[in-house]
Amino acid sequence: DQQVKQNSPSLSVQEGRISILNCDYTNSMFDYFLWYKKYPAEGPTFLISISSIKDKNEDGRFTVFLNKSAKHLSLHIVPSQPGDSAVYFCAASAHSNYQLIWGAGTKLIIKP
Amino acid sequence: EPEVTQTPSHQVTQMGQEVILRCVPISNHLYFYWYRQILGQKVEFLVSFYNNEISEKSEIFDDQFSVERPDGSNFTLKIRSTKLEDSAMYFCASLGGGETQYFGPGTRLLVL
């Protein structure tokens, strides 16, 4: 099941610079997309979301962009901080209360 | 800030034994979910629960699994006869009137 893909297993970024995490999806029925952050042995923590009627959502240092025609979304973190080092998951659903379909995650490492 | 809690944090059991994983969702939430993540794999949806009944379930959620909301606060996942391949992190999530599922810290289940 590859409906949601995160093709970069890991990403290393210098502290203070921009981190860009990418996610692609194949199911055109998805209308709600979320980003979660996860530390080892902890549960996913919600970061930011976007519905399919928007192309951008911003919350502090975090911005999510959605390109529906390309079935692609990205998470931008600016500026990146050491505490941002974690695994980031992209998830999607076909309705707000339906099951989430998850990507494989991208491990973000912020270098001091 | 309200949060989803899960107990136990770790559970070790023998193959064939029954286990019950417990979750206390956020108090005013109406939708409840179980997901699991086998080590090194994606997060997978198991089941969703609304209005005291299952609303969605995946192929993984076979007759060995059941869910229950025995009182107004707890939400449980029972595995009747555990198999080695049931070893995973099990996450509970809940959703209120919005569109975001909030996750608990997880229960690490190890089947020997």
> CB-based contact (8 Å) between B33 and chain A?
yes
Share of chain B above pLDDT 90, in %: 85
Binning pLDDT at 50, 70 and 90, where does residue B90 land?
A: very high
Task: Among B45, B99, B105, select the one facing A42 at the smallest CB separation.
Answer: B105
* Cβ distance of A45 and B42 shorter than 8 Å: no
**Which residues in chain A touch residue B91, judged by CB atoms under 8 angstroms apart?**
43-44
> CB-based contact (8 Å) between B43 and chain A?
yes
- Which pLDDT score, from 0 to 100, does residue B110 have? 97
Given a cut of 70, is residue B44 above it in pLDDT? yes
- Which pLDDT score, from 0 to 100, does residue A57 have? 97
Cβ-based burial of B56 (10 A; exposed 0-12, middle 13-18, buried ≥19):
middle
Query: How near does any CA of chain A get to the CA of B90, in Å?
Result: 9
What are the CA-CA distances from residue B92 to residues A5, A110, B7, B76 (Å)? Answer: 23, 29, 10, 9
**Number of CB pairs, chain A paired with chain B, less than 8 A apart:** 57
Mean pLDDT of B42-52: 94
Binning pLDDT at 50, 70 and 90, where does residue B68 land?
A: very high
Q: Which of A1-10, A82-91, B38-47 has the lowest mean pLDDT?
A: A1-10
Binning pLDDT at 50, 70 and 90, where does residue B25 land?
A: very high
Given a cut of 90, is residue A2 above it in pLDDT? no
- Which pLDDT score, from 0 to 100, does residue B96 have? 84
Mean pLDDT of A24-45: 93
Given a cut of 90, is residue A40 above it in pLDDT? no
Share of chain B above pLDDT 70, in %: 100
- Which pLDDT score, from 0 to 100, does residue A1 have? 59
- Written as one letter, the residue type at B56 is E
* Cβ distance of B43 and A89 shorter than 8 Å: yes
> CB-based contact (8 Å) between B97 and chain A?
no
Backbone angles phi, psi at B86, to 5 degrees: -80, -5
Chain A residues with at least one Cβ partner in B under 8 Å: 32, 34, 36, 41-46, 49, 51, 89, 91, 96-105
- Which pLDDT score, from 0 to 100, does residue B3 have? 92
**Which residues in chain B touch residue A33, judged by CB atoms under 8 angstroms apart?**
none
Q: Are B7 and B25 in contact (CB under 8 A)?
A: no
> CB-based contact (8 Å) between B99 and chain A?
yes
Handedness of CA A79, A82, A85, A88 (dihedral sign): negative
- Which pLDDT score, from 0 to 100, does residue B107 have? 97
**Which residues in chain A touch residue B50, judged by CB atoms under 8 angstroms apart?**
97
* Cβ distance of A46 and B4 shorter than 8 Å: no
